[in-house]
Amino acid sequence: MKNQESILVLDYGSQYNQLICRRIRELGVYTELLPFDSSITKVLSLQPKGFILSGGPASVYDENAPKLPDWILKQNLPVLGICYGMQLLAEKFNGKVKSSSKREYGPAQIEILNSSPLFQDVKSGSHCWMSHGDEVSKVPPQFHVIARSFSGLISALGHEEKKIYGVQFHPEVSHTPFGKILLKNFLDICGCEFTWNLSSFIEDSIQQIRELTKNEKVICAVSGGVDSTVAALLAAKAIGKNLHSIFVDTGLLRKQEKEEVVSILSKFPMSFHLINGAKIFLEKLKNVKNPEEKRKIIGRTFISLFENRAKPLKARFLIQGTLYPDVIESSQDQNKLSAKIKTHHNVGGLPKTMKLSLIEPLRYLFKDEVREIGKKLGISNKILQRQPFPGPGLAVRILGEINKGQISLLRRADAIVREEVEKTDEITRLWQFFAVLLPIKTVGVMGDKRTYENVAAVRAVHSNDGMTASYARLPWEVLDRISSRIISEVKGINRVVYDITPKPPGTIEWE
């Protein structure tokens, strides 16, 4: 962010990295997650007040283990190492790290041995969350042990003069109740002013869009969802009549989706264009089974349609509502230690060369932050509370090859899921709820006759940002109605199952 102090989180591959960023932002300080080997030019451009070294799966004594860049310590800024990050600091300052005979995974308690500003207002005996197999076996010179776990392992150490600290547990997860207090203490040590807020983000974004486009024509990809709508309204405030919003009917939308979106978006203060691309997308996806290939094909096809529409408008820029979770999961901007979970059509699915210059004003925001911006922009709750719908649409909810018949089956089953859930109080608590068409058939009995038909899976989850999720414990009577209606009303489906997998290890979508 322009003229915004920040705390930089260096990515060493931990599954909890995005949570560190969320916690820091919740405390009022801007943060970004960067690869551990980022250039110093990139880092200093973000005006860091301090660094956090994330956890990760490696061992510091491995031959190819990721290291601590020399330039970090040369900045003379506070540093907090978490898990692997603490072990990196211990090794860097001539301590020792070894494989532990007392591996700690899950809940633990710590005993605070020495006072430290990092642990201000944290009580000895507090519970925390551990996830490590290595331990600091020798404390580096000039460092002191702040805390040990009840099993005797070093849980926190620090160099007060240099303001360098390490903790073996994970303060960013909810299983460490005092974690936010500790992170706030670190921000105080860094001298942060806690000025990050979404109102300043709106002002900065509008100004940046205006400066980037320089009074030229711009197209904006819109879907009717909160992300693209917020991105479009930010752009409309920045460039007014130079903005042209484009909605593509891919033929992979939910029941009545096109009609609802056109009704909503055509009322917004911007030029609105509808592209009917159903035949094109279906042809491009013919015989394609691999989910990664589906997403890439859909991403390329979207861009091709946008470029064709941009040409007569003489537009050079494309705005889209990419969010931080899309970037993180696609690992496009992350280092090689972070596994790519899946390619998002609007990130990793984009072609390497594009005729349009891409602008993504929400690229470093989480979903709840975008919804808050939407409120400030005056967007109605009907749009803000719309459940997330993937850009590839039903293509990633039909496992395997896609055809018109399968799309029709899934569209009808999904409509029943939504209709039944929306009748209940559960609707206000859920992040997403939908149906998935599985690539298998099962034997059934209907009307005293044998059937051999498709299986539909129902998915409903709770989440704050889409990065982690827990399955929703929908009432049995709701699931009973969903199952009964799908089997009775959707000819071609004779079995319904319910997905009770959290994220991780699963993902919210099946592909």
Q: Going edge to edge, which strands form the sheet with 154-159?
A: 30-35, 6-11, 48-53, 79-82, 164-167, 154-159, 144-149, 96-112, 127-138
pLDDT digits (tens, 9 = 90+) for 311-334: 999 999 999 998 877 776 655 444
48: cis peptide before it, omega within 30°? no
- Is 250:277 a contact under the CB 8 Å cutoff? yes
pLDDT digits (tens, 9 = 90+) for 203-245: 889 999 999 999 899 999 998 889 999 999 999 999 999 999 9
E runs forming strands in 360-506: 432-446, 449-462, 470-471, 493-498
- Is 224:321 a contact under the CB 8 Å cutoff? no
Q: What is the structure's pLDDT at 347?
A: 42
CA distance 99 to 415: 53
CA distance 84 to 135: 9
Domain 397-498, CATH: 3.30.300.10
- Band of residue 50 on the pLDDT scale cut at 50, 70, 90: very high
| Longest Cα–Cα distance in the chain | 81
Burial class (CB in 10 A: 0-12, 13-18, 19+), 74: exposed
- The CATH architecture that domain 6-190 belongs to is 3-Layer(aba) Sandwich (3.40)
- Is there a catalytic annotation at residue 159? no
Q: What is the structure's pLDDT at 351?
A: 57
Nearest CA among 137, 156, 10 for reference residue 61: 137
- Is there a catalytic annotation at residue 83? yes
Q: Would the pLDDT of 189 be above 50?
A: yes
Q: Supply φ then ψ for residue 120, to 5 degrees.
A: -60, 130
Q: Going edge to edge, which strands form the sheet with 217-221?
A: 271-276, 243-249, 217-221, 315-319, 357-359
Kindly state the average pLDDT of the residues 28-54. 91
E runs forming strands in 139-242: 144-149, 154-159, 164-167, 217-221
Q: What is the structure's pLDDT at 353?
A: 66
CA distance 334 to 330: 8
| Boundaries of every domain in the chain | 6-190, 198-384, 397-498
- Band of residue 158 on the pLDDT scale cut at 50, 70, 90: very high
The catalytic position among 170, 244, 344, 345 is 170
The catalytic position among 5, 21, 32, 83 is 83
- Band of residue 366 on the pLDDT scale cut at 50, 70, 90: confident
Q: Supply φ then ψ for residue 37, to 5 degrees.
A: -105, 25
Question: In what helix (H) or strand (E) does residue 299 lie, and over which residues does it extend?
Answer: helix 291-313
Instruction: Tell me which range, 58-67, 338-347, 361-370, is most confidently predicted by mean pLDDT.
Output: 58-67
Among 203-212, 376-385, 453-462, the minimum mean pLDDT is found in: 376-385
Topology match between the domains 6-190 and 198-384: yes
- Band of residue 335 on the pLDDT scale cut at 50, 70, 90: very low
* Fold entry, domain 198-384: Rossmann fold (3.40.50)
- Band of residue 90 on the pLDDT scale cut at 50, 70, 90: very high
What pTM value is reported for the model? 0.70
Distances in Å between the alpha carbon of 27 and those of 2, 128, 184, 467, 488?
Answer: 19, 20, 7, 19, 51
The catalytic position among 5, 91, 104, 172 is 172
- Is there a catalytic annotation at residue 172? yes
Q: Would the pLDDT of 147 be above 80?
A: yes
Gap between the terminal Cα atoms of the chain: 33
Specify the 3-state DSSP secondary structure of 317. strand
